[in-house]
Amino acid sequence: MPELPDVAGFQARFDRHGLRRPVAGLHVDEPRLVRETSAQGLGRRLKDRAFTATHRHGKFLFAQGDGGGLLVLHFGMTGYLAFYGEGEEPPEKAAAVIDFRDGGHLAYVSLRLLGRIAWTAAPEDVIQGEKLGPDALDAWWTAEQFAQRFAERRGMLKSALMNQSLIAGIGNIYSDEILFQCGLPPKTKVQALDSDRLREVQSVTRRVLRTAVRAHQAPHSIPRTYLLHRRSEDGTCPRCNADLASVKVSGRTSYYCPRCQG
C-alpha cells in the first residue's frame, strides 16, 4: 500500500506535471472510485480550471483548484499517478485521466480499484471525516506530544504506528523500518516504553520517513543499513546478516531481525 513517502512522491509528480495547466476534461473509466460526487459532476468542476497547489496529509493528496475546492486522491493498495504526453499510450488500469489543454495527461492508476477520488471544500473536512491523526511529518507535532499520545495507548507499538487515527501516513513497510531502526521487535508493547523511549521512536520515525521521501527523487539514497533493501522471506539483516524472521501483527506480515531486534 502506498504510504506517506510514496504519496509525497506522487505529490511531487503532480506538482511537476499538473499545476497551472488548464484542464480540458476528465475521463473516468472506474466511476466506482469517485466518492461524494459523480464522475460527471467532478468533470464539470475541473473543466477549464487549473490546479494551483497541492497538500498532503498522511496517505491523502489534495490538489487546490483555482476557483476554490480541492481534488482528493487516496491511492488504496496499489494506486499511483502517471503523466503521459500527447500521442503516448495511457498506463494500464488508468481509472481516471485528467486531460490538459496543452496536450498532457495525468492518470490516476488503480490496479485493485481500492482507491478514492473525491472533491472537498477544505482538507479539514476529509481529515476530520476520516478521523485522521496528525501527519507523521507535521512540524508542529513535538516529541513530547507524540510520547503523550502514544503513552495513552495499549497494545503493540507496530499496530499503533499503523493506526491512522493516531498518526497518519505509516503502513506496514515503514512501521517495520521504524522498529528496525529503533531495535525493537514487532510485538513490543507500547506500555513497555517510557517517555524517553517514545520520544526516540518519534525522532526515528521522522528520520526514516524523510529519508524515504528524499529517496523518491534519488532512489540510491536509502542507506544500506535500512531494512527496506532486504525485507522479504529470504532476506538477511543489513547490519548483522542474520536471516530475517516474520510474524503477523494486526493481520499484517512484519519482517525483523531476531538478533538486532531481540
Domains of the chain: 4-129 (3.20.190.10), 143-256 (1.10.8.50)
Residues of the chain with pLDDT under 50: none
- pLDDT computed for residue 218 by the predictor: 67
- Amino acid 169 reads G
Closest CA to 186 of 126, 238, 97, 258: 258
Q: How far apart are CA 209 and CA 257, in angstroms?
A: 20
Run of H or E residues at 172: helix 172-182
Please, what is the average pLDDT of the chain?
94
pLDDT digits (tens, 9 = 90+) for 142-166: 999 999 999 989 999 999 999 999 9
pTM of the model: 0.94
Q: How much is the pLDDT for 11?
A: 97
Per-residue pLDDT, 216: 76
For residues 96 and 106, what is the distance between their CA atoms, to the nearest angstrom?
8
Backbone angles phi, psi at 121, to 5 degrees: -75, -30
Distances (CA, A) of 125 to 56, 70, 136, 236: 14, 11, 19, 44
User: What are the beta bridge partners of residue 116?
Assistant: 74
Determine the Cα–Cα distance for residues 117 and 204; give it in Å rounded to an integer.
Answer: 32
C-alpha pair distances (Å), 40 with each of 26, 67, 206: 8, 18, 40
